[in-house]
Structure 1
Amino acid sequence: MAGPPQSKADYVYASLLDDLRNARISGGTPLRATEIAQRLGVSITPVREALRRLENDRLIRYEQHHGATVIDLSADALVEYYNVRAVVEGLGARLAAGRITEDELTRLWGMHERMVADEKAGRYELLGEQSREFHLAIADIGGPAFLGAHARAVRNNFPVPAHASLWLDPDQARNHLTVHEQLLKALKAGDGTTAERIMIDHVQFSGQYRLDRG
């Protein structure tokens, strides 16, 4: 059954979030509601609603006489973001190990195998988004009531530009696919302690990689 149609505000929000995630709009950029409305072919009202949501996500801020501006997050904020992700996604992995079903595990292996195939074919640009889906799928399994939604909210607070993804580095891509395989084996074994440790180390390594790249 198809889901409900996307509202215009949802469309604007998703479009702007995608622009931020892929660095098409950089930190410090002013966002003019009228310009966004014209570009996306909508009225000003859904744009304003989308901008309020982005403000709640702490991705933009309003300044007197300047309007909405994209927040340029600091290195300290980046470290905090990855530490929060490590805690939330680590907890998700630990809980998932205790409740994952065979069907869910099969689905995760399928996601992993598609990533392996793309890595072997050199399709590195596809791996970042697939890894995001893989991580969030584990969080959903571990905490279907609200942990998965919380993991998404954390990630949306600090979108990772595509060009900053470690998945574009062939050596890092291979290493992280190995880590994903180790994580899947821990989930299959029902070993929550190991799954949590692997996930925490994995996420924190990603943060350090991005920090080192500036």
Structure 2
Amino acid sequence: MPTSEPRPPMSKAEYVYSVLLDEIRTARIPGGTALRAGAVARRLGVSVTPVREALRRLEKDRLISYEAHHGATVVDLGDDALEEYYGLRAVVEGLGARLAASRITAADLTGLRELHASMVRDAKEGRNDRLGEQSRLFHLRIADIGGPAFLGQHARAVRDSLPVPAEASLWLDAEQVKMQLDAHEGILAALEGADGVAAERIMIEHVRQAGDFRKGH
């Protein structure tokens, strides 16, 4: 019989890590920014110890680096890293889509279609600022369905490894919104039809197209 034990509260180090990770991932803290433990601690209302622990985790994630006499600095990634990022995403998320086609349940498909429908409504009503996070959830749900043991975790790690500034989001471009939503619809149709080859192909093309847009902006 399932139990509903209370979840342990987030530690201060976990809290600092989650805040900084989100700020780096969305480029609210841009590449090249120095992160001073004392300043971060004061801003987030914690001591320096959990900040240093969080910074060590971010260094392990390769999102910050340490330099002599400079301390921690957010990594500033260039075009080569952008190419590698979208190439890796295409491989991981494409594989996730192919595997998901043979594993997806009716409930899984319903959940994905509801999320897609929400995106379509938001797009029609001009709420494009909500589409990026919903798209992220759409992709990660598919990765989780296709590879619950490893792929979902890897898909998240890849996505968290390169910041996407809000102003660079393709979801702010009307033409891109239509193309991306059409691709999501194609992926859903392939998943419903248990066509792993098509699901993988559409996903790969979809991610690479997003990469081409990002490299042009």
- Given the two structures, how large is their TM-score scaled by the length of structure 1? 0.97
Structure 1 gaps of 5+ residues are none
Instruction: Choose 58-67 or 16-25, whichever is displaced more.
Output: 16-25
> How far 1:24 moved relative to its partner?
1.7
| Alpha carbons 2:66, 2:73 under 8 Å: kept | yes
Report what 1:134 is aligned to: 138
- Given the alignment, which residue of 62, 65, 78 partners 2:66? 62
Instruction: After TM superposition, list the pairs within 5 Å mapping 1:13-52 onto structure 2.
Output: 13-52=17-56
| Alpha carbons 1:21, 1:162 under 8 Å: kept | no
3-state SS, counterpart of residue 177 of structure 1: helix
3-state SS, counterpart of residue 103 of structure 2: coil
Report what 2:204 is aligned to: 200
Paired with 1:151 and 1:36, the residues of 2 have a C-alpha distance of 28
> How far 1:22 moved relative to its partner?
2.5
| Alpha carbons 1:22, 1:163 under 8 Å: kept | no
Paired with 1:171 and 1:118, the residues of 2 have a C-alpha distance of 15
Report what 2:9 is aligned to: 5
Kindly provide the amino acid, as one letter, of the partner of residue 183 in structure 1.
I
The percentage of aligned residue pairs carrying the same residue is 65
Aligned pair count reads: 213
Paired with 1:96 and 1:64, the residues of 2 have a C-alpha distance of 46
> How far 1:41 moved relative to its partner?
0.2
Cα pair distance change 1:24/1:86, threshold 3 Å = same
- Given the two structures, how large is their TM-score scaled by the length of structure 2? 0.96
The answer to whether structure 1 residue 106 and structure 2 residue 110 are counterparts is: yes
Deviations 1:19-62 (A, max 9, x none): 11222211111100000000000011110111111111111000
Paired with 2:72 and 2:172, the residues of 1 have a C-alpha distance of 32
- Given the alignment, which residue of 161, 181, 185 partners 2:185? 181
Tell me how large the CA RMSD over aligned residues is: 0.9
Report what 2:172 is aligned to: 168
Deviations 1:70-120 (A, max 9, x none): 111010000000000000000000000011000000000000000000000
